[in-house]
């Protein structure tokens, strides 16, 4: 395969507490909204055996693309909470509003509605919560609405006691439908099959991947796989292609499965670092985003594996600007296909970048032979893409020309890293070769 691939940092935000989950809102009216959750372990003061506390903060942002001199990511709200282990937006509006689910260290599943004030500002407001168990951490959640189906809204949640809980949402309240012991140790992840929401998958620190059918009850899993050699911590059902499942583990492997045959994976890809989160692209069925803990963030091209040709899925892009554990990552549904509008100041700025002595600071040379840059001058001011770098700036390597090399795909993404408590917003531009474009169309 041959392609042109480039990742570019757009903005970095310090979350102050350790960041571990980011989620773009999938609801059409709010796709410019981003949520970020943090987790901070506070060791008890005084006695050595003092119980540590786990605190967190929930951030709400809006992404704006006016091409102005301000950063595109605007903080709308933040609230102090219990430590947050996972965040997921419901894929469809509920009672006309976007809904955010939060797995908390208190063992609760908490729901928030995204509401508009009379002034037009958007903010999160608590809707309801339900404790899945005492003295445990809620570790993950998933909504049954992954294929934009709102006929029945349910949530699955996993916890540190190895249990899986299935809950229904009706009239603004959560109701527990079932709960069972699924894993010997922490149940790191749980997920619906988006094509048959009676099917649930779970992964745990016991190195097991399991399937469950709610119609026959949880007394016995439909399958138990020990194909991963370490704890299973990521599962995502492909919303575009039936039966396809992606799983990730501390063993640094991404496995693709056909749910009709869980004896052997379709594909095994070594990505390094431990795979904490996997996300299928919102519209392209063959693109998979992986947050790889000790080995940054990668985008895998899974077309050949999904066609049954086997072999590892090649990494076609990497984002390596984080300096700590790569935990949270998500695709935005916002379109970046059209060029970003130029700022009116771009034609004749009041003070040119050259006059002010500003320049784009080169941060690293990317694996795809292009440079990523921080969009700031020396004074820390934001430089939108519409403003050219001054003539004194060194050449930044090959760029994608908007006329000759227009990217076939431009994506907006967010990622976060733990110990350096950083949230990054970045874009990925990708131009496959002609043969690859033909394959993707099929």
* More confident: 350 or 295: 295
CA–chain centroid gap for 347, Å, is 36
pLDDT at 362: 27
Instruction: Give the helix/strand (H/E) hosting 225.
Output: strand 223-225
Query: What are the φ/ψ torsions at residue 27 (nearest 5 degrees)?
Result: -70, 135
Q: Give the CA angle between residues 24, 65, 401 to the nearest 5°.
A: 105
Whole-number pLDDT of residue 364: 30
Question: pLDDT tens for residues 145-176?
Answer: 999 988 889 999 999 999 999 999 999 999 99
Structure-token match 């350790």, residue found? 18
Domain ranges for the chain, please list them: 3-43+52-338+414-441
CB atoms within 10 A of CB 241: 14
Tokens of 237: 């059902």
With contact defined as beta carbons under 8 Å apart, do 319 and 12 qualify? no
Calculate the CA 247 to chain-centre distance.
Answer: 14
Report helix, strand or coil for 328: strand
pLDDT in tens, 48-78: 666 789 999 999 999 997 665 678 999 999 9
The conformation of residue 344, written as its DSSP 8-state character, comes to G
pTM as predicted: 0.84
Q: What does the pLDDT look like over 168-191, one tens digit per residue? A: 999 999 999 999 999 999 999 999
Nearest to 194 by CA among 81, 310, 280: 280
Taking only the tens place, the pLDDT of each residue in 227-238 is: 999 999 999 999
User: Of 2.130.10.10, 2.70.98.10, 1.10.4190.10, 3.40.50.300, which CATH number belongs to 3-43+52-338+414-441?
Assistant: 2.130.10.10
Provide the pLDDT confidence category of residue 37 given band limits of 50, 70 and 90.
very high
Listed residue (426, 414, 240) closest to 330, CA to CA: 414
Alpha-carbon gap, residue 87 to 106, rounded angstroms: 14
Q: Which of 139, 131, 10, 54 is nearest to 423 (CA)?
A: 10
Band of the pLDDT at 117, cuts 50, 70, 90?
confident
Give the least confident one: 185-194, 241-250, 298-307, 347-356: 347-356
Q: Of all helices (H) and strands (E), which one includes residue 372?
A: strand 371-374
Which two structure tokens, joined as six digits, stand for 277?
A: 């989160």
Contact 252, 235 (CB under 8 A): no
Distance of CA 424 to the CA centre of its chain: 11
Residue identified by tokens 């890809």 is: 269
Higher model confidence: residue 152 or residue 221?
221
**Coil vs helix vs strand at 222:** coil
Q: What is the mean pLDDT of the chain?
A: 84
């Amino acid at each position: 395969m041959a392609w042109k691939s480039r990742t570019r940092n757009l903005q970095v935000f310090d979350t102050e507490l350790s960041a571990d989950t980011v989620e773009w809102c999938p609801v059409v009216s709010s796709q410019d909204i981003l949520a970020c959750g943090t987790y901070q372990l506070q060791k008890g003061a005084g006695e050595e055996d003092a119980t540590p506390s786990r605190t967190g903060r929930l951030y709400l942002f809006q992404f704006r693309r006016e091409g102005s001199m301000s950063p595109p990511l605007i903080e709308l709200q933040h609230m102090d909470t219990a430590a947050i282990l996972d965040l997921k937006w419901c894929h469809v509006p509920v009672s006309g509003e976007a809904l955010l689910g939060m797995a908390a260290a208190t063992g609760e599943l908490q729901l928030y509605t995204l509401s508009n004030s009379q002034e037009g500002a958007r903010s999160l407001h608590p809707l309801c919560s339900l404790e899945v168990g005492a003295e445990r951490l809620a570790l993950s959640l998933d909504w049954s609405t992954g294929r934009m189906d709102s006929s029945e809204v349910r949530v699955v949640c996993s916890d540190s006691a190895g249990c899986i809980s299935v809950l229904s949402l009706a009239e603004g309240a959560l109701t527990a439908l079932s709960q069972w012991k699924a894993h010997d140790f922490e149940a790191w992840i749980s997920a619906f099959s988006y094509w048959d929401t009676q099917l649930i998958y779970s992964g745990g620190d016991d190195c097991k991947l399991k399937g469950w059918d709610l119609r026959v009850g949880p007394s016995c899993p439909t399958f138990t796989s020990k194909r991963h050699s370490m704890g299973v911590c990521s599962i995502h059902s492909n919303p575009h292609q039936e039966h396809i499942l992606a799983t990730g583990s501390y063993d640094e492997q991404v496995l693709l499965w056909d749910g009709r045959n869980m004896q052997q994976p379709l594909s095994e890809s070594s990505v390094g670092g431990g795979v904490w989160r996997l996300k299928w692209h919102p519209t392209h069925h063959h693109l998979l985003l992986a947050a790889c803990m000790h080995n940054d963030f990668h985008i895998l091209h899974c077309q050949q594996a999904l066609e049954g040709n086997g072999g590892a899925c090649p990494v076609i892009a990497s984002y390596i600007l984080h300096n700590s554990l790569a935990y949270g990552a998500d695709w935005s549904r916002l379109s970046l296909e059209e060029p970003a509008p130029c700022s009116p100041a771009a034609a004749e700025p009041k003070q040119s970048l050259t006059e002010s002595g500003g320049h784009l600071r080169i941060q690293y040379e990317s694996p795809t032979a292009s440079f990523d840059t921080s969009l700031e001058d020396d004074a820390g001011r934001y430089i939108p893409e519409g403003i050219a770098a001054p003539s004194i700036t060194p050449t930044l390597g090959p760029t994608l020309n908007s006329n000759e090399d227009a990217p076939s795909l431009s994506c907006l993404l967010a990622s976060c890293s733990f110990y350096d408590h950083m949230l990054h917003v970045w874009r990925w531009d990708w131009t496959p070769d002609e043969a690859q474009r033909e394959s993707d169309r099929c």
